[in-house]
Amino acid sequence: MENPTVFGKIIRRELPADIVYEDEEFIAFKDIRPRSKVHILVCPKEYIPTLAHYPETEEGALKLGRLMLTANKVARLLGLEGYFLRIHVGEKGGQEVFHVHVHLRSDA
């Protein structure tokens, strides 16, 4: 199924974004409403609506692990010495865009 979210549109280049990192599996771009000095969103290109949609399988664990490692790689590429990660899960968890993403933020 095609990813109908705003992040799907960014991945398909139908919407502009300030992309700071991209590889075959992931994309990272600046949050349009930054709430820290550095505020990046790291997403898999595969359409996965929320963290809760990752299967509890070896494959799901590997995909999620690579998402975290990619967030760390982006932090390293940006030269961040310290940062925090945040994931909103579901509407009641504050999620607005239903394509899984990690907020990578730093005020250091």
101 is catalytic: yes
From the list 47-55, 61-69, 76-84, 88-96, the region that binds ligand AMP by CB under 6 A is: 88-96
Q: Which residues 6+ apart lie within 8 Å of 95 measured at CB?
A: 50, 88, 89
| 67 near ligand AMP (CB under 6 A) | no
| 85 near ligand AMP (CB under 6 A) | no
Minimum Å gap between C-beta 62 and ligand AMP is 23
Q: Which two tokens stand for residue 91?
A: 């509407």
- Backbone phi, then psi, for 100, in 5-degree steps? -55, 140
The single residue among 42, 95, 100, 105 that binds ligand AMP, judged by CB under 6 A, is: 95
| 43 near ligand AMP (CB under 6 A) | no
Going by C-alpha positions, the residue among 34, 108, 43, 45 that lies closest to residue 78 is 108
The single residue among 19, 51, 80, 97 that binds ligand AMP, judged by CB under 6 A, is: 97
Going by C-alpha positions, the residue among 56, 63, 15, 59 that lies closest to residue 42 is 63
From the list 49-57, 61-69, 72-80, 87-95, the region that binds ligand AMP by CB under 6 A is: 87-95
d(CA 66, CA 41) in angstroms, rounded, equals: 15
Catalytic positions, please?
101
